[in-house]
Structures are given as structure tokens and as C-alpha cells.
Structure 1
């Protein structure tokens, strides 16, 4: 961890934007007149979008004809269809609550207990979820805000600087910190990519279609930006081609650190997003990340640590669905939420979860021993799956909200590796950073389809895509693409 903090800084698509036909509207409950968030809006096989948290949607229908129809559905509601030729732009669609009586079906099904249902869920995980030889079109929206709660940086010794220069340098750093502390910076990023997975999920290919960033680059309060400014100031004065021994306290960090590379900070903002930088994170997402691999959720895997209750039984897409609520029942259980489980396949088709008040998703606290503390204090999520043509389940939508707190307070010593001790550069500084960040991520799986090994091998990745930096959200930027409709906060965000 200390070494990570030392530098302090990490074929077949139909897009016709000139003639695009994007339809938009919103879904409401007929009975309550309330919006229906995260409802499904589909047209054709495995192609569609999800309503946002305000019940709004937009969908591109270029590849379809007037004979096709949009299908609107949500758990607990009766689905409905509207032909494209009859669709009115920005209309409100009302769904009726599904009041089907399922008690007789429930009795025939031997009235399984919640624990028996969860046991069957685990037995069928491998059968129900398989992402090999699949292709997905993804729209990803990230929202983040960062705040440096406290920051201190002081050079105690620098043999390459005169004392009056060192004093001036520390004064400049103090001024930098005044403009950085307790300022929250907010940013949005959006991208549309195609992900193709081979027989082994590690053999993943990424094709970036478009990427945008909405961020104030003149004012930032995240740790990386602050660190870059500090390192830039040091790099302007430190000039050595030799390597350095580095210690933090009594702990050795590196015996041959090339300081020149670490302290020469790239100040120009990147104008592109690169495929090679995305691949590793998406391999992790599909193979290891608990957001798509339900067996990694402890409330699924370690279900006996939770108290499960059957809240209701409903129908969805022609099958019976158990609605199970859960809460911690033993000390090591940390989450509360609901699972929607198919009574036919015992697949989880929807999961809602959040951390219990006062619990942490992860963390390390060595504040007094090593001056380090890091913890994730919020973990809230929603994930929705849908049965595909192979009778396995593809993800449709995933949403997560996390909060991270980092405290770092260490001293660092640099000693130049040179035979001439009289000219050896020595450098010592103390640094404290206390940072809090929130990250909201939404992923819409617009389209999913099977691929053969031959098709996968023939797919060529692009190198990347130019980033579009924008100062105000503009819906026309995504004309011709299926995306998650922006909420009011994003629509009104302006730099």
C-alpha cells in the first residue's frame, strides 16, 4: 500500500446518428400514479433499455419497422405493448398492478421454506449464469465526487534546495492546500462499448464506441489531482538521473526508485480512452466481481447467516417469482435487501441490497501504527437479469453506490544512490491526506447475443476512442445510442 501511495497518483453495430430515431417516454403505476424505476423497455430479442430512477427512458429503434412494438414490463405489474406506429413521443405509459392469485401454485410447489429456496439458488448458480461466448453492448455512466477533508505537506530536508527556497516551497504548498481542502469536485463520465467474451472469460475483447467526460478540470479536490500538483512542484526543483533508496519511517519502500519518472507529472489532460486500459477491469468484472457473479455475495453464498422471509409471490414474464427479504442473523452478516427468485429455475432475476447501518464493506485501520486507514462505508446496489435464448441468464442492468474514506499520514526519506557522498541528494517530507469519495455506477446491457469461437477469434479490437469533454450535459451527444435517461441532477449539471 505504501508503494502505491508513494507517487500519490491509475462488426456488428448499427449506429446511424444522422438519421437516428430515438423514442422517449416514462412509466407510471396506474393505481398509485407513481413513476416505475428500472422497468424494462424492450423491442426484439435481447434488445432494450431500463427506465431510470425517475421512470424515464429513451430507446433507439433504427433497426426496426413500424410493424414492431415496444414491450413494457416490471415485476409486480402487467406488461403492455405499443406498436411503433402508434407510439407518441414523450408519452406516459401506465402499467397496471399484477393481482394474479398464485396461492394454489404456491401450495402445489410444496411450500418451500426460504432456506430451501436459497439452497436451490446456490445449487443452480453455475447452470443459470454463464457469460462465455457472449457479446454485450454496454452503456456505462459513472458519477463521482471527491473531497479532501485535510491535507498537509512539508519538506523537512532537501539538499538540492537552499533553505530560503525550501521555506518558499512550503509556503507555496500551504497556499495550494488552502484552495484544495473542503472543496468537493464532481464529475460524470459515460461510455458505450462492446464486450465479447471467449470460451474462457479471460479472453475478453473490448471495442470502445464513444466516451464523454463532464468534469471541471480547473478545480479538483481528489487525491490524485492534489498529488499531481505537489509532485509537479517537487519535480521542477529535483533533477537527478540516479536512482534513490526510499523509506517511510523505518519501512523500506524501494532500493532503486527512478525518481525522475515519479516526479515528472503529466499535466496535460488525456484526450483519449484506450482499450488496453479497460480490458483488465472488464475481465475482473465478468469473472470475479460480485456485481455479476451472485455466488460472491455473502447473502447468497452464506445464506444461513441471514434471516430470510418470503414476503410475496408474484408473476413475471409467465413464471412464478418468490420475493425474499433478508437481514443479518449472525455477527458476520452485514447486508439487508430483497431477492426475486424464479420458482422454475431458481435463478435470481433481481437483487437489491445495502449495508446494515454502521457496518463496513471493507477496511483497514492502522492509523496509529502506520498512519493508514481506509474503509468502504457504503455499498448499495441493484442488479437485474433476464433469461436468454439458451435458458441461462444475462445481466440487464447493474447499479452500485459506494463511499470510500482514506487517511494517510507518513514521512518519506529519499537517499540518492551515488558513490560521491558529498554530492548525494537527500530529501525528506511529511505528508497527510484525508479524503472522502463517493462513486455511483450504472451499467445498461443494451444488447446481448451468442458468439461462436470462430466469430470471437475474428473480432478485432480498436485501440481506443477520443474523449469528448463537455461542459454541460447535452442529450444530442448520444443521439442514435441506447442509454440510460439522465436524471434531473445530471441534466442540470453545468460547469
Structure 2
């Protein structure tokens, strides 16, 4: 038996379907005809543990010590024939799925022929039956990807009475800002509660932060240099007046500067250490709180909630619906509907509706116009992008729950207006105005946030169990200058795409 296990392991490794001593299997799922990767495929063991393939069709699945070679692996996707067989029969580095031919199900050809509008009404009628709002525990993996592009960074130098604050220095400030930057934050944890903000808890297990720290250090050094220039040139008891166009505000000098002081006093040192400890505790708490808030906002977006921005069901009179096809998800017959806005609604997309219970099993959406624009006195904002998809699975109690979510949100920001920083001092004899820096800014940037959320397990818990949960707010993200495939070893996550795997900071910082 030992020899058979070794032989199977060697065979699987040679053929590319990795089944290691660490009990992890990885592969890519492709269309058998087109050979194109299939994203968002459900990969599940017979004991219901599973993952979803990423946008490139890749997955990694962690097996526990109780997994046997004869346990079955089930692979299913909308529009494809489900594939299920024992682990030891997967002997290829690529898993191929065949498109499922459309055969009209008796449900579809029954006496009742639904129009698109009638189907949507059935979805609305059955929402409470299909989607629950109970208190649950969810094991979640959440990836937040942010990409920013500085599309414009021009300015006109008008005047500076501080010699060191010259055009050369200001050029160095602008040149230190990278034209493009990316950051990937990932967390794994247990999320407790329902869709109410005050009824949610997050206990973090592990987190990572992948970005180029060198760009932050460059900006920090410039800030220190800027502070040093001001220290040497401003007068005691000065304050600054900052004017941009028609507006002005007063800022005390010590708000501009960060002075570092040395103290040999034991009590002062003790106080300083206590403050640092508190800041560290706040940082830990705020990281977990921020991620909990982000997850809460994502869950609030689910289409069946009354206040969801995705209002094409609750306010279906603002949209046009059209049945375009039928398909299957495993053995479930599914209607495919497209929708588009009328009377100024925001979104278009596609719905996959179960023909038996009228649950939306998957939805794809994208905005058709900017969701918010602002342009006043040289400041502009354009929230031009909001698109995504949601995939739901049915549990043993008959309720559908969110299994996978992906959303991309993009905004463009611009500033084109004059800027004056004026040093004023009433105690200095002579002119009240001491120094002045005068610029005209013309800058713009574009940023995209991509969220990917996968829920591995969802189980109901009682209110008493929820109240007894203590959040773990001590976990902070581990900084990574480049992708480390070992970091998430031993955990089920959403497989990273190639861009994440290829990410490398310019200079590695310890």
C-alpha cells in the first residue's frame, strides 16, 4: 500500500497535477474545445470543502489529514458538464470541462411559459425564501488590490521668497511620486454576524501587504527635507495662511512641522513609551476594524437587500429585461437574462436564475454611466467604474449564500487651481507677511480598487454564540516586497493571478 501511494504521488507530480506531502493540489481548468481558462469554477471535495478558480482558471486546494486518494473531487461551472472522480484519477496538469448541450428541461417546457418580467417578479416573491438574514460564521479570504496612475503632474512656479523652496526642489517632490503604483492586501479570518453594521465581528487569522515601500520612504525623506527648510526660515510664533483660489485657511506653524526632541527625563521617557504602545494597539485595532468595515460594505451590496445600490431587482421598473438563453449548473436548469437601464438607471448586466426556485445563482453587472461627478473651482471627481459579479451557493437548509464576489471601482481625480502658502507673524516688526510660496497646480490621477471575496464555509450560529465571540484585533499584515508563495501555505485562499505573482518592489526594504 505504501508503494502504491508513492507511485501515485510520483505519477501525479510528473504529469503536473501536484499532490504533495503538504496535501495541496493545484491545477488550471480549461474549456475542452477552446482551450481557454475558465474562471470562477467551483472545485469541491466530497466532504464539501472547496475553492473557486481565479480569473485565470487556476486553483489550489488544501487537503486535510483525513483526505483519502479515493475521495472524490467535483468540478462544476455554469454551462459545463460537471466532472467528478476520485483524486487519484486526476492525472493531467490541465482539467478540461466540456460544454453542456442545452436540452429543454421539463420545468422550462411546462405549461407555464414565463416572460422576462414574470421571472423577475418570481425572483422578488421568493427572495425571503431563498436568501436568509440569520447570524452566521463565515471563513473569508479577502483580497484588496489597488492600482493608481498619475495621469498629470504639472505646475507653474510663480514665486518663492524662501530660497530653498525653489523650482528644483519642487520638481524633485513631483518626480518622487511614482506614475504608477500597486498595492495588494490580503486577509484570512472568521466573519460573524448578518448584514447589519452593528451586528458584525471579525477575528483575523493572517494578513499580508504587498507593495513597494521604497516609494513611501522617498516621500517621507522629502517631507523631512521640507520640514527642515521651513524650520530654518520661518519666524517664531508664525502661522501660515493657505489660499487656493477663493478659499483660505489658517494653520499654526507647529501643525506643519514635526519636531523630534530628545529627553533624558525618566518620567517623560515612560510617557513616550506608553504613547507608542497605545499607538501600536490602536493601529492593530484599526486595521481589523477597517477590514471589518470593508467587508460589511461589500455584504451590504448584495442585490436582494432593500438598500443595495444594485437595485435592478427591488426597483425592477427602472430596467428592461430579456431572456437570451438557457443553461445548466450541474443538474439545475437556469434562465439567462440580460438587463439594461431605462429612465436613467445605473447598471446593465446578466442574471442566471434557477428555473425551479427562482433564485439568482449568479449575476454580472457594470455601470453604464458615471455614478458620481463633481467639478467646482478647479477640483474634479469622476466615479466612472463600478462592475463586478456575485456567485451564490445553496446550503443544506435550502438558503442561498454568497460564495464569491468580485468588484472593481474606479475614480478619476483632478486639481487645476492656484496655491499660495503665506507665512504671517504679528509679533515681527514691519511687514506682517514674512514669506510666500505661490504655485499653480494642474494634476490628475486615476485609481482602481478591485475586491475579491471568497467564503469557504457559512454556518448559522445563535445570538448567544455571537455575543460570546471575542474579536482578534492583534493581527497586522506582514509586509512583502514581492510575492511569497509560502506565506499562505497551509490555508485555502483564492489563487493569486499572474500580476500578483510577478509583483516586485524596486528596492527590498527589511
Task: Find the partner of 1:235 among 227, 236, 256.
Answer: 227
* Change in CA separation of 1:109 and 1:134 when aligned onto 2, cut-off 3 Å: farther
Which one has the largest radius of gyration?
2
TM-score normalised by the chain length of structure 1: 0.79
Is 1:305 aligned with 2:315? no
Alpha-carbon distance, 1:60 to partner? 0.9
Is 1:397 aligned with 2:404? yes
Give the distance between the partners of 1:203 and 1:238, measured in 2 at CA: 48
SS in 2 for 1:477: coil
Partner of 1:37: 39
Is 1:320 aligned with 2:333? yes
**Tell me, which stretches of 5 or more residues in structure 1 are unaligned?**
1-17
Partner of 2:202: 206
Partner of 2:50: 48
Alpha-carbon distance, 1:425 to partner? 7.5
Partner of 1:387: 394
Give the distance between the partners of 2:66 and 2:304, measured in 1 at CA: 30
* Change in CA separation of 1:218 and 1:125 when aligned onto 2, cut-off 3 Å: same
Equivalence map 1:85-234=2 (5 Å):
85-88=88-91, 91-99=93-101, 101-102=103-104, 104-108=106-110, 110-152=112-154, 163-167=162-166, 170-180=167-177, 183-197=179-193, 200-219=196-215, 232-234=224-226
Give the distance between the partners of 2:304 and 2:210, measured in 1 at CA: 27
TM-score normalised by the chain length of structure 2: 0.77
Greater shift in the superposed pair: 299-308 or 131-140:
299-308
SS in 1 for 2:215: coil
Alpha-carbon distance, 1:435 to partner? 0.8
Give the distance between the partners of 2:48 and 2:252, measured in 1 at CA: 51
SS in 2 for 1:108: coil
Give the distance between the partners of 1:248 and 1:45, measured in 2 at CA: 63
Give the distance between the partners of 2:443 and 2:222, measured in 1 at CA: 12
Give the distance between the partners of 2:259 and 2:446, measured in 1 at CA: 23
Partner of 1:3: none
Give the distance between the partners of 2:140 and 2:194, measured in 1 at CA: 17
Task: Find the partner of 1:71 among 71, 74, 89.
Answer: 74
* Change in CA separation of 1:200 and 1:176 when aligned onto 2, cut-off 3 Å: closer
Partner of 2:357: 345
Deviations 1:409-428 (A, max 9, x none): 34456788987476787766
Give the distance between the partners of 1:459 and 1:449, measured in 2 at CA: 15
Is 1:463 aligned with 2:476? no
Is 1:490 aligned with 2:500? yes
* Change in CA separation of 1:412 and 1:45 when aligned onto 2, cut-off 3 Å: farther
Give the distance between the partners of 1:51 and 1:275, measured in 2 at CA: 27
